[in-house]
Copies of this chain bind each other. A is one copy, B any other.
Amino acid sequence: MRAEVIAIGSELTSGQKLDTNSQWLSQRLGELGVDVRFHTTLADDLGQNVDVLRIARSRAQLVIVSGGLGPTQDDLTREALATMADVPLIEDEASLSALTAFFERRNRVMPPRNRVQALLPEGATPLPNRSGTAPGIWLESVGTVFAALPGVPGEMKTMFDEQLVPRLQGTERLGPVRVHRVINLFGRGESDFEAEALDLTARGREPEVGITASDATISFRITAEAADSQAALDATEPTARLIYERFGEWIVGEGDVDVVEALIQELEMHQATLAVAESCTGGMVAQRLTDHPGVSRVFLGGVVCYANQAKIDLLGLPPAVLAEHGAVSSEVAEAIAAGARDRFGATLGLGITGVAGPDGGTPEKPVGLVYLGLATRHGVEHRRLLLGADQSRPVIRSRAAKHAMNWARVVLNSEVRGHGPAVSR
């Protein structure tokens, strides 16, 4: 079953408000086995509303509309649906009683203009609204089901779950359940992975595999359909296994597990602790780790050593090292990593220093040059990253933070496999 989601309101097309209803509806519809192919957002204009509904009718079997059911002159969904279906608007008695009762419960007289909310296109069924005034509308036209819901997210969600889902299930129009399984990788570019996965991402493959990039994390997304969600999940398994075999060393985790969550898991698994010394990332690693409740078991804290004097005073960086090599150097990265490990008494110390830009780059030390240091009980190592002189400051900072966390994760992980430095303190 192919669907279109329509959001109505000039505050959306003008960009004054962000439409989040369409995303929510698409997720829920996907779980029900409905294939959402289009979102349309349009301003409060009757003629354009009617045109958009007609286009939707021609390309979808289910159309969910949110917004435009209020009592004001801007609220045109009722009229647009009636015009599209070529039927008159008629007053629905049950909806009028419900409206009147809504105001009575609040000891208020119903304003006369709210009466229009009881109007329905002839042949439509009202969808009761438990939490607001506007009833929803269920209308079939030329083989397509239209469901109009309120624009207020809370009312929309309640009506969707309580009124629309049972009705859709009753029509036996719902298709097989669709499951998305997302496997996250880090450490190479999207096209590097894609080049080694052309057989998986080929059009028409079953199950379908897509590849997306977000903040340098690359995700394979396996989409499978089956009668129930367990069977759909099972159908993703052979493809997931192929991805694990081929890209195992780069895989961070599945679903919401990105580099941060994966590092926390590794630290917990090893009962290891981490401290950080952040110069160019300025607290970003610490902030992302502490987004997670309970991280205090494995994350002891950090020093944001933005000023050079702080690297000396708080992390024991020898001034001579700073003078000889400069703040952005492998020597300083190693020294502050060791300093963080030592001052916090942690199993692992991470140090990050670099040129985040946009200014401060030189030919020898361009914007995007970042040194990472990692201190373990076996000593301290460094890595050099070139994150791109044409990248923005937020991108360079974010990637430096992710690379640092991923390095610590990989080192902990290789410990399990018995090669690589031991990390127990």
By a beta-carbon cutoff of 8 Å, the part of chain A in contact with chain B is 10-20, 22-30, 36-45, 48, 51-52, 55, 59, 70-74, 105-107, 111-114, 130-131, 152, 154, 180, 182, 190-192, 194-195, 198, 201-203, 210-213, 221, 275-276, 278, 280-287, 289-291, 293-296, 299-307, 309-310, 313-314, 343-345, 356-360, 386, 388-395, 397
Residue picked from A41, A111, A283, most chain B C-beta under 10 Å: A283
11 A-B pairs (CB sep. < 8 Å): A14-B30, A19-B39, A37-B42, A48-B59, A73-B202, A113-B191, A278-B283, A280-B290, A283-B283, A283-B302, A303-B314
User: A11 CA to B198 CA in the complex, in Å?
Assistant: 19
User: A337 CA to B356 CA in the complex, in Å?
Assistant: 28
User: A301 CA to B312 CA in the complex, in Å?
Assistant: 12
With known contacts A13-B38, A18-B20, A302–B301 Cβ distance under 8 A = no
Counted per complex, copies of this chain come to 2
With known contacts A113-B191, A390-B131, A300–B309 Cβ distance under 8 A = yes
Beta-carbon contact of A13 and B41 below 8 Å: no
CB distance from A169 to the nearest CB of B (A): 19
Residue picked from A282, A305, A359, most chain B C-beta under 10 Å: A282
Beta-carbon contact of A294 and B391 below 8 Å: no
Contact residues in B for A22 (Cβ distance below 8 Å): 15, 19, 41
User: A10 CA to B209 CA in the complex, in Å?
Assistant: 12
Contact residues in B for A276 (Cβ distance below 8 Å): 304
Beta-carbon contact of B195 and A113 below 8 Å: yes
User: A191 CA to B29 CA in the complex, in Å?
Assistant: 32
CB distance from A408 to the nearest CB of B (A): 16
CB distance from A295 to the nearest CB of B (A): 8
Told that A15-B23, A111-B191, A314-B314 touch, could you supply 12 new A-B pairs with CB distance under 8 A? A11-B221, A13-B38, A18-B23, A105-B390, A131-B390, A131-B391, A284-B287, A293-B359, A302-B303, A303-B303, A304-B304, A314-B344
CB distance from A230 to the nearest CB of B (A): 20
Contact of A72 among B39, B52, B190, B390 (CB under 8 A): B190
Beta-carbon contact of A11 and B210 below 8 Å: yes
CB distance from A277 to the nearest CB of B (A): 10
User: A130 CA to B388 CA in the complex, in Å?
Assistant: 11
Beta-carbon contact of B39 and A39 below 8 Å: yes
Contact residues in B for A74 (Cβ distance below 8 Å): 201, 210-211
Contact residues in B for A52 (Cβ distance below 8 Å): 38
With known contacts A304-B302, A306-B300, A39–B13 Cβ distance under 8 A = yes
Contact residues in B for A12 (Cβ distance below 8 Å): 23, 39
User: A107 CA to B306 CA in the complex, in Å?
Assistant: 30
CB distance from A42 to the nearest CB of B (A): 5
Beta-carbon contact of A356 and B191 below 8 Å: no
The 6 A-B pairs at the shortest CB distance, nearest first, are namely: A282-B290, A15-B26, A283-B286, A283-B283, A15-B27, A39-B41
User: A14 CA to B36 CA in the complex, in Å?
Assistant: 6
Contact residues in B for A51 (Cβ distance below 8 Å): 59
CB distance from A263 to the nearest CB of B (A): 15
Contact residues in B for A275 (Cβ distance below 8 Å): 310
With known contacts A113-B194, A283-B284, A299–B293 Cβ distance under 8 A = no
Q: Which residue of B lies closest to A12 (CB)?
A: B39
Beta-carbon contact of B39 and A14 below 8 Å: no
User: A14 CA to B34 CA in the complex, in Å?
Assistant: 10
CB distance from A205 to the nearest CB of B (A): 10
User: A196 CA to B286 CA in the complex, in Å?
Assistant: 40
Beta-carbon contact of A15 and B36 below 8 Å: yes
Contact of A16 among B14, B112, B221, B314 (CB under 8 A): B221
User: A38 CA to B49 CA in the complex, in Å?
Assistant: 10
